[in-house]
Amino acid sequence: MTTARRRAMIPVAILALGLAVSACSGSAGDAALVGNNHVTEASLNSNVNEVLVAQGFSENKSDPELVKNILNWLVVMDLLDQVAADNNVAVTQGEIDREYAAEVKSAGSAAALEAAYLKQGVAPSQISERIRFALTAQKVAKAVAPNATPEQATADLVTAVVAKSKAVNPEVNPRFGTWDSENLQLGETPSDVSTVLPAQ
């Protein structure tokens, strides 16, 4: 498996290892509320559109699974950032740039790297953020389990993110599903959201 593929799949690995309906108490423009942090529908739509365009589709294409995957990613990313802050962990732009250069070298070219990420539903404009996530996850794992094996460190990382999710109790706009803190993933959309959607 290439380095780029491993990077793109890190969120999936976290979910797999980790891996009553209420209205989202944020504003009507929120897709999710993660503690005090808002994941806006505008941000979600922008991320989805970037992938669709990179894949050669119209921004108007309906792809509910892509929307769900990206929202899941945005919530997990926010949770990881909060765990990182708790442990005084940060990733610099220089670290991201060096990792990007290493991945380009491994892939053979920037175009090949972009193609590898795109197969995982990551647009070229989103690669740096995915690399930041991967590096953050590595640093947090070392912080929460400094003397552990790589496997145990990964498990401890998942435990820390799950604990944070349970503590902040992310609220997802029911139109997109319900949040499962134990597995760090979106569940099915409720069959009737007419009484719980924020007023428009």
Q: Is the distance from CB of 86 to CB of 167 less than 8 angstroms?
A: no
pLDDT tens, N- to C-terminus, the chain (200 residues) = 555 554 544 455 454 433 322 334 445 588 999 999 999 999 999 999 999 999 999 878 888 999 999 999 999 999 999 999 999 999 999 999 999 999 999 999 999 999 999 999 999 999 999 999 999 999 999 999 999 999 999 999 999 999 999 999 999 999 999 999 999 999 876 554 433 333 33
- pLDDT in the model for residue 199: 37
Give CATH for domain 3-19+27-186: 1.10.4030
- pLDDT in the model for residue 132: 98
If phi > 0 it is left, if psi is from -120 to 50 it is alpha, else beta; for residue 121 that is left
7 CA to centre of own chain: 12
- pLDDT in the model for residue 168: 96
- SS3 state at 69: helix
Where exactly are the structural domains of the chain?
3-19+27-186
